[in-house]
Homo-oligomer: A and B are copies of this chain.
Amino acid sequence: MSLDNLSINFATVRQAGSFGAIVDACLRHGITAISPWREHVAEAGLVEAARIVASNGLRVTGHCRGGFFSAADAAGRRAAIEDNRRAIDEAAALSASCLVMVVGGLPKGSRDLSGARQMVEDGFAEILPYARQQGVKLALEPLHPFYAAERACLNTLKQALDLCDKLGEGTGVAIDVYHLWWDPELEEQVARAGRNGQIVAHHICDWLVPTVDPLNDRGMMGDGVIDLGRFRAMIENAGYRGPQEVEIFSHRWQARPVDEVLATIVDRYQTVCQTITGAAAAT
């Protein structure tokens, strides 16, 4: 089965080391789509990272990450805007399909959630013209409600899509199974996103029972309770046939040799992550 639609988010295999070392590990397993983090790019240098991408014919399914718009004061919000511009430049240089946006939670000391949400909307409005100019799509990623205070006050697909509708062209959503699998309105909202061409990234992993650490105990596909085949079918029915990007934050998996992790991912991708018709495997 083709692995063209399998992408590895660098957070999944950060134990491999540098940008180049992670790419080499992916290539050893026949994987040619990646999603790096800014720190990996910074360490390698943007020019060198872009060279590695181009010379290996890699597809960059997302650059991680922009966002964190909500801040306690105007200087903090201004700094976030500037930082997002740099992230957009990087995403453009890497020819990334999107810049993944984790929007930020409550500013320190604040209990004003709707105020934070307004800051996020304002932040997007401010950087969007620049992103459009650079040809970089912004992927709004709704995060699990568990992260509302600390990471992202965008917490359902509906909320993210409503914001995309407001912002307009150049925006879309990153649909991560971990964050959204529980949502009773999931199917309806995925269909809506597909109808409007707003699905720009699809992240996979699994939800473990029990989840002992909400930050770093995500599961390998197949080890948890998410029906990944059904989830993928839902996305394909919505018209999306793009990559599945594996993003597993896990102390357990980060303690294992990178080749074991990647071999397991390839195996699970070919089994539990496919729809019955296997359309996901075709590019």
Contact = CB atoms under 8 A, between A and B. Distances in A.
Copies per assembly:
2
Contacts of A156: 184
Q: Is the interface of A mostly helix, strand, loop or mixed?
A: loop
Contact of A149 (B146, B184, B207): B207
Q: How large is the interface on A (under 10, 10 to 19, 20 to 34, 35 or more residues)?
A: 20 to 34
Contacts of A113: 181-182, 227
Contact of A111 (B144, B183, B210, B226): B226
A118 interface: no
B145 A225 contact: no
B149 A209 contact: yes
Nearest to A117: B184
Contact of A214 (B117, B146, B148, B226): B146
A159 interface: yes
B149 A183 contact: no
Interface string A139-174: 000001110111001011011000000000000000
B146 A159 contact: no
Contacts of A8: none
Interface in A214-256: 214, 225-227, 230
Interface string A192-212: 000000000000000101110
Nearest to A209: B149
A106 interface: yes
Nearest to A144: B145
A73 interface: no
A252 B200 CA distance: 43
A260 interface: no
